[in-house]
């Protein structure tokens, strides 16, 4: 009887304990894989954000208005300014011509005549690729770096023949630091490779010196280059077993996280040892009780065995209630205490797991929010710097033009008076001496004195009209050049709109590929407004530029007859809203804004333009200038095929 009970009960108890240990080990392995995958995704997001910010920086620099027309002496200060802003990461910014030779470098004035036309970064840009990356080892520090390049196009709008290349070299210090501090347990670490499997960042800095190490034959990198992602188990050359997670980035690079399999399976081994120990103890207890009280404890032992089985299946509320006060009753009480303790322990583990998951999600959200804010702030700084530089350049040009034009305009009045006096003297001479000598008569006929007397005053009058026109243009340029003014001033809104239209006049004119855009102005009498003039001009520039872009697309879609009957038009209307507010309405007769994108129109980095034509910051910055800096409102209304109207409402007193 005793042997029968032992053979019947002990295997059940041992099996239940082993099953519980197996389930616990499986959960531990699953959770370890999830942790590796979560860490890999977070690290991949960090690398992707870094790549996107640098890509945006190079593309914005290559699309700088007028860049293709600048001389090397004018290019270098622009490159130096960007280099100074990002000097901790950038080791060189250069501009190369169509032959592959640098014409300007941010870090040095003297340029060696070296041909770079065979380099990947130059060939990719000259093929029209929006962004090209080339990884290499820097000569100065011997550390990995990446070159970003983008094509530079002419101002004529030709997007098929680049005029040159903007090249920026970035050291990988930031990515190396991020990779270096990424640890999982005691043996887990991460590394970064490029699209060819070459090592870019690794905790062991000795692997990153002098040349790019080829990791393409390493099992996790092989998996990555084949386009496969996910959990991989492999054995390295030292016969160490590893678990790895590989994530391929959009730019072709790859992030790999690894951890020794022995560390991952350590908790599982602990559960197995605990299960064996508990099994041995259970065997001794059950055998002793069965040996002494086989007949009397058969049914209670069956109940206990069933309870243990249920407990192994996760029924933590399982209890055994026996009326005996002997050893079996004590064992039942001990089992109940063990079940209660296990219930509390697993409940605490579950709570700790949920709390950890919540903290990971919360911290990830905080990091993503911080990254978005940093990215937005950086883009705003770049945009502000560009607009400030534009204002300074326009102000300088206006000043240099104004002086000689004023000199010419002032002297034209005296020239007209002198001309009138001289012509009167000639006429008086002809009246008193109608028969001049033959030599004088021949010279009169040669220079066509009658025509000269009639045409010369007209020529002087035309010159005076021209100088007046130039002075009006200079005045508009000087009004627009107030982009960098930081204090609040009382200004005329109409002057800001007119100066912005003067700057955009070239885009409004007729060209070979498009018809002229009509601009109608309906200005009401407005009071002077206390505002930031430069920032308000920036808002007008963004809204009018967007309207012109929309109308350019409209002209490409319609034929000439339709455009002649329904020309592209921008209507600008100003009005007073009571005594305290004014409104500026800018309406275009384009195709309108789709309903699906209207809720996101003021979001940072959101754009409906093709890649390379917009950063998605214009409306976001304009909205911030109007609402936060001026306490006003910026809104729009749009209907399909009816066009779009943006309305700027600002208080008279800010």
Residue keyed to tokens 């754009």: 607
Per-residue confidence (pLDDT) for residue 168, from 0 to 100:
93
The lowest-confidence range among 21-35, 269-283, 306-320, 588-602 is 21-35
Separation between Cα atoms, residue 498 and residue 492, nearest integer Å? 10
CA nearest to 111, candidates 57, 81, 73:
73
Per-residue confidence (pLDDT) for residue 8, from 0 to 100:
61
Can you give the pTM of this predicted structure? 0.41
Could you tell me which residues come within 8 angstroms of residue 86 by beta carbon, excluding any fewer than 6 positions away? 57
CA nearest to 383, candidates 541, 160, 235:
541
CB–CB of 95/107 below 8 Å? no
pLDDT at 635 > cutoff 90 = yes
Instruction: Please give the backbone phi and psi of residue 125, each rounded to the nearest 5 degrees, phi first.
Output: -65, -40
**Same fold across 31-261 and 490-653:** no
Degrees to nearest 5, angle at CA 139 with 135 and 143: 55
Topology adopted by domain 490-653? Heat Shock Protein 90 (3.30.565)
Per-residue confidence (pLDDT) for residue 88, from 0 to 100:
79
Per residue, the 3-state secondary structure of 224-288, as one string, reads HHCCCCEEEEEECCCCCEEEEEEEECCCCCEEEEEEEHHHHHHHHHHHHHHHHHHHHHHHHHHHH
CB–CB of 521/572 below 8 Å? yes
- Could you tell me the residue ranges of all domains in the chain? 31-261, 320-420+457-484, 490-653
pLDDT tier for residue 277 given thresholds of 50, 70 and 90 = confident
Rounded to an integer, the average pLDDT of 233-256 is 89
Separation between Cα atoms, residue 40 and residue 294, nearest integer Å? 58
Could you tell me which residues come within 8 angstroms of residue 586 by beta carbon, excluding any fewer than 6 positions away? 540, 543, 544, 547, 570, 571, 572, 645, 646, 648
Could you tell me which residues come within 8 angstroms of residue 106 by beta carbon, excluding any fewer than 6 positions away? 76, 79, 80, 82, 83, 90, 92, 93, 94
Per-residue confidence (pLDDT) for residue 212, from 0 to 100:
86
CA nearest to 307, candidates 344, 326, 334:
334
Rounded to an integer, the average pLDDT of 145-150 is 93
Question: Which is higher by pLDDT, 559 or 18?
Answer: 559
Output the six-digit token pair for 624: 């911030």
Output the six-digit token pair for 332: 């039942």
pLDDT at 610 > cutoff 50 = yes
Architecture per CATH, 31-261: 2-Layer Sandwich (3.30)
Output the six-digit token pair for 115: 């041909």
- Beta-carbon neighbour count of residue 562 at 10 Å? 12
For 280-332, the DSSP string reads HHHHHHHHHHHHHHTTTTHHHHHHHHHHHHHHHTT-TT--------SHHHHHH
Separation between Cα atoms, residue 393 and residue 395, nearest integer Å? 5
CA nearest to 5, candidates 236, 304, 386:
304
Residues 497-548 have pLDDT tens digits of: 988 888 888 888 877 667 788 999 999 999 999 998 888 888 998 899 899 9
């Amino acid at each position: 009887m005793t042997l029968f009970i032992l053979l019947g009960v002990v295997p059940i108890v041992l099996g239940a304990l082993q099953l519980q240990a197996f389930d616990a080990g499986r959960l531990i392995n699953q959770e370890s894989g999830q942790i590796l995958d979560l860490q890999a995704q977070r690290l991949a997001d960090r690398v992707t954000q870094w790549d996107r910010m640098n890509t945006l920086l190079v593309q914005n620099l290559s699309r700088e208005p007028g860049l293709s027309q600048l001389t090397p002496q004018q290019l270098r200060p622009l490159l130096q300014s960007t280099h100074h802003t990002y000097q901790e990461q950038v080791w060189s910014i250069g501009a190369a011509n169509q032959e592959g030779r640098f014409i300007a470098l941010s870090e040095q004035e003297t340029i060696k005549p070296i041909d770079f036309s065979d380099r990947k970064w130059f060939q990719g840009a000259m093929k029209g690729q929006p962004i090209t990356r080339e990884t290499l080892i820097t000569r100065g520090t011997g550390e990995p770096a990446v070159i970003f390049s983008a094509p530079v196009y002419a101002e004529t709008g030709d997007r098929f023949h680049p005029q040159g290349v903007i090249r920026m070299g970035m050291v990988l210090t930031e990515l190396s630091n991020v990779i270096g501090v990424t640890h999982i347990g005691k043996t887990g670490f991460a590394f970064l490779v490029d699209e060819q499997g070459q090592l870019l960042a690794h905790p062991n800095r000795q692997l990153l010196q002098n040349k790019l190490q080829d990791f393409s034959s390493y099992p996790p990198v092989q998996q990555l280059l084949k386009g496969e992602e996910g959990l991989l188990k492999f054995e390295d050359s030292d016969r160490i077993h590893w678990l790895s997670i590989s994530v391929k980035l959009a730019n072709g690079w790859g992030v790999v996280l690894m951890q020794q399999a022995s560390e991952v399976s350590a908790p599982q081994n602990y559960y197995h040892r605990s299960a064996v120990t508990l099994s041995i103890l259970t065997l001794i207890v059950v055998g002793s009780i069965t040996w002494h009280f086989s007949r009397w404890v058969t049914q209670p032992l069956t109940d206990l065995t069933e309870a243990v089985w249920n407990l192994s299946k996760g029924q933590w509320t399982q209890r055994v209630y026996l009326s005996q006060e002997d050893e079996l009753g004590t064992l039942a009480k001990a089992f109940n205490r063990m079940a209660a303790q296990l219930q509390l322990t697993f409940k605490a583990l579950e709570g700790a797991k949920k709390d950890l998951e919540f903290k990971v999600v919360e911290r990830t959200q905080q990091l993503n929010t911080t990254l978005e804010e940093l990215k937005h702030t950086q883009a705003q700084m770049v945009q502000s710097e560009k607009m400030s530089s534009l204002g300074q350049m326009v102000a300088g040009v206006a000043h240099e033009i104004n002086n000689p034009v004023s000199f010419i305009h002032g002297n034209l009045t005296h020239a007209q008076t002198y001309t009138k006096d001289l012509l009167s003297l000639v006429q008086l001479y002809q009246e008193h001496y109608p028969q001049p000598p033959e030599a004088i008569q021949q010279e009169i006929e040669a220079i066509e004195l009658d025509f000269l007397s009639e045409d010369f005053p007209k020529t002087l009058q035309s010159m005076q009209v021209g100088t007046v026109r130039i002075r009006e243009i200079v005045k508009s340029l000087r009004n627009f050049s107030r982009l960098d003014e930081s204090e609040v001033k009382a200004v005329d809104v109409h002057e800001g709109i007119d100066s912005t239209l003067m700057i955009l006049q070239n885009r409004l004119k007729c060209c070979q590929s498009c018809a002229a855009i009509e601009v109608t102005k309906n200005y009401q009498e407005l009071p002077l407004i206390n505002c930031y003039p430069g920032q308000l001009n920036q808002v007008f520039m963004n809204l009018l530029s967007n309207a012109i872009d929309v109308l350019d697309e409209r002209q490409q879609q319609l034929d000439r007859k339709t455009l002649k009957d329904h020309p592209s038009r921008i209507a600008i209307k100003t009005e007073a809203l009571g005594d305290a507010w004014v409104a500026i309405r800018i309406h275009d007769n384009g195709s309108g804004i789709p309903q699906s994108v209207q809720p996101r129109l003021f979001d940072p980095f959101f754009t409906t333009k093709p890649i390379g034509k917009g950063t998605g910051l214009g409306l976001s910055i304009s909205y911030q200038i109007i609402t936060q800096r001026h306490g006003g409102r910026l809104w729009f209304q749009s209907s399909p095929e009816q066009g779009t109207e943006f309305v700027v409402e600002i208080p008279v007193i800010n």
